[in-house]
Structure 1
Amino acid sequence: MPIKYHDKLHLLHFQHAMYDLEKGYFEVLERGEFCRDLQHYLQRLLSLGHKKTVVNILEKVGTCVVEHKEYTLRLQAIGIVAEFTKLLRGQRDKDIFRIVAMIMSGWIRREREYHPGYELIFTHIGALIKKMFSLQLWHQAEPLVMVSRGVHCGTVPTDIKFKKIVNKLRRDIADQKTISVLIQSFLQSKNPDQVITGDLLKAMAPHSSAAMIHSLFKCTRKEIRLHLLKMIPEETEGVLPLLIERLKDKQPWYVVRNGMILLSFLGDPDLYSFARPFLCHPDSRVQGEVLRCIVALGGENVSDRLISAASTINDDVKCLLINLLSPLDDPNIQILFIETMEQRTTLPSMVRDELVRTICCSGKIHASQRGINVLRAIVREGDSMVVVYDPALDAARKLLGQLKDSDAVS
Structure 2
Amino acid sequence: MIDRVIQEKAARTMVAINAAIRNMRLYPITSTATINSVDKALQSIDHILETEKSLAFAESEKNLLIFGQPLSEKEQQKPQVVAFLDLLLNFSIKNLSFQRGMLRDEFITFLELLIARPEEISQKGGLKSLIAEKRLSHIIIDEKVFVSMDEDQKIASKDEKKLDIEETFAPMVNTLDTVLDYESKDKVSRHLATSMAKKDEQVLGTVLTQKTEGELGEKLFSHIIEALDDEKFERLIFKVRQMFDDAQKNANKSEDAQLIRHAYQNMLKSEKGEQLQTRIRERKAQEKTQKQEYKTKLLAGINSLIKGEKSAFQDKELMQTLPATVTQMFSKGQERIVEVISDRLCEGLNIKVAAVRADVANALASCLEKFPEQFRQDTITRLMPKLIHWISRKTSLTPAVEKIVRYLMEKAKELIKNNQFVQSEQILKAFHSVRYGKSQREENFRDFAGKMLETIADNDITDHLLKEFRFNQENKREQASRTMVFLAEYAADPLLNLLKDSQHRSERARILQLISDIGPAALPALSQRIEEGKPWFFMRNLVLLFGKVGNESHLDIVKPFLSFDDYRVQREVLNCIYSIGGNQRESIFSAILSDAGDQLKADAVGMLGAMECRTAVPMMIQILETKTLMTSKARNELEEKICNALGNLMAQEAIPCLVGVSEPKKGVLSKRNYSEKVQLAAHRALEKIRAGKVKGR
TM-score by length of 1: 0.65
Taking a change above 3 Å as real, the CA distance of residues 55 and 72 of structure 1, as seen in their structure-2 partners, is closer
The 2-side partners of 1:153 and 1:136 are apart by: 25
Partner of 1:246: 529
Taking a change above 3 Å as real, the CA distance of residues 122 and 399 of structure 1, as seen in their structure-2 partners, is closer
Partner of 2:681: 395
Q: Which runs of 5+ in 1 are unaligned?
A: 1-15, 46-52, 381-389
The 2-side partners of 1:262 and 1:285 are apart by: 15
1:145 is displaced (CA, Å) by 3.0
Q: Is the 8 A contact 1:113 1:158 kept in 2?
A: yes
Taking a change above 3 Å as real, the CA distance of residues 109 and 339 of structure 1, as seen in their structure-2 partners, is closer
What do residues 199-257 of structure 1 show as CA deviations (whole Å, max 9, x unaligned)?
Answer: x54544444454455556667544542342231236x8xx35x4444233441112211
**Aligned match for 1:285, one of 551, 568, 571:** 568
Taking a change above 3 Å as real, the CA distance of residues 67 and 212 of structure 1, as seen in their structure-2 partners, is farther
Partner of 2:550: 266
The 2-side partners of 1:55 and 1:378 are apart by: 95
Asked whether 1:129 is paired with 2:401, we answer no
The 2-side partners of 1:305 and 1:154 are apart by: 33
The 2-side partners of 1:215 and 1:304 are apart by: 36
Taking a change above 3 Å as real, the CA distance of residues 30 and 80 of structure 1, as seen in their structure-2 partners, is closer
Taking a change above 3 Å as real, the CA distance of residues 360 and 178 of structure 1, as seen in their structure-2 partners, is same
1:70 is displaced (CA, Å) by 7.2
The 2-side partners of 1:184 and 1:391 are apart by: 52
The 2-side partners of 1:166 and 1:406 are apart by: 59
1:286 is displaced (CA, Å) by 0.8
Partner of 2:642: 359
What do residues 341-364 of structure 1 show as CA deviations (whole Å, max 9, x unaligned)?
Answer: 755773434x45544443332224
Partner of 1:6: none
Output aligned runs, 1:290-309, within 5 Å. 290-309=573-592
3-state SS of paired residue (1:231): helix
Asked whether 1:371 is paired with 2:638, we answer no
What do residues 290-325 of structure 1 show as CA deviations (whole Å, max 9, x unaligned)?
Answer: 112232342544333223324554544444222111
Amino acid at match of 1:86: E
Q: Which runs of 5+ in 2 are unaligned?
A: 1-299, 313-317, 668-675
Amino acid at match of 1:371: L
Taking a change above 3 Å as real, the CA distance of residues 302 and 40 of structure 1, as seen in their structure-2 partners, is farther
3-state SS of paired residue (1:275): helix
Amino acid at match of 1:283: D
3-state SS of paired residue (1:377): coil
The 2-side partners of 1:22 and 1:403 are apart by: 83
Partner of 1:48: none
Output aligned runs, 1:7-406, within 5 Å. 23-24=307-308, 30=322, 32=324, 35-37=327-329, 59-60=343-344, 62-64=346-348, 67=351, 69=356, 74-81=361-368, 86-87=373-374, 98-106=381-389, 108=391, 122-152=405-435, 166=449, 168-179=451-462, 181-182=464-465, 194=478, 197-198=481-482, 200-211=483-494, 221-222=508-509, 224-233=511-520, 239=523, 242-264=525-547, 265-268=549-552, 271-310=554-593, 313-327=596-610, 328-336=612-620, 339-340=623-624, 342=626, 346-349=630-633, 351-362=634-645, 363=647, 364=649, 366=652, 367-377=654-664, 392-400=678-686
1:137 is displaced (CA, Å) by 2.4
The 1-side partners of 2:467 and 2:359 are apart by: 43
Taking a change above 3 Å as real, the CA distance of residues 343 and 184 of structure 1, as seen in their structure-2 partners, is farther
3-state SS of paired residue (2:519): coil
Q: Is the 8 A contact 1:66 1:106 kept in 2?
A: no
TM-score by length of 2: 0.42
Taking a change above 3 Å as real, the CA distance of residues 332 and 196 of structure 1, as seen in their structure-2 partners, is same
3-state SS of paired residue (2:569): helix
Amino acid at match of 1:296: S
The 1-side partners of 2:448 and 2:587 are apart by: 50
Amino acid at match of 1:132: L
Amino acid at match of 1:127: E
Q: Is the 8 A contact 2:397 2:442 kept in 1?
A: yes
Partner of 1:5: none
Amino acid at match of 2:578: V
Taking a change above 3 Å as real, the CA distance of residues 36 and 299 of structure 1, as seen in their structure-2 partners, is same
How many residues align? The count is: 366
Q: Tell me which structure has the larger Cα radius of gyration.
A: 2
3-state SS of paired residue (1:346): coil
1:120 is displaced (CA, Å) by 5.5
Partner of 1:7: none
Taking a change above 3 Å as real, the CA distance of residues 347 and 187 of structure 1, as seen in their structure-2 partners, is farther
Q: Is the 8 A contact 2:655 2:686 kept in 1?
A: no
Taking a change above 3 Å as real, the CA distance of residues 111 and 76 of structure 1, as seen in their structure-2 partners, is farther
1:289 is displaced (CA, Å) by 1.0
Q: Is the 8 A contact 1:260 1:293 kept in 2?
A: yes
Q: RCO greater where, 1 or 2, for CA within 8 Å and sep 6 or more?
A: 1
The 1-side partners of 2:340 and 2:408 are apart by: 20
Range that drifts further, 270-279 or 399-408: 399-408
Taking a change above 3 Å as real, the CA distance of residues 391 and 187 of structure 1, as seen in their structure-2 partners, is farther
The 1-side partners of 2:365 and 2:411 are apart by: 14
Q: Is the 8 A contact 2:643 2:658 kept in 1?
A: no
The 2-side partners of 1:42 and 1:185 are apart by: 42
3-state SS of paired residue (1:251): coil
Q: Is the 8 A contact 2:412 2:456 kept in 1?
A: yes
Taking a change above 3 Å as real, the CA distance of residues 404 and 171 of structure 1, as seen in their structure-2 partners, is closer
Amino acid at match of 2:664: A
Amino acid at match of 1:374: V
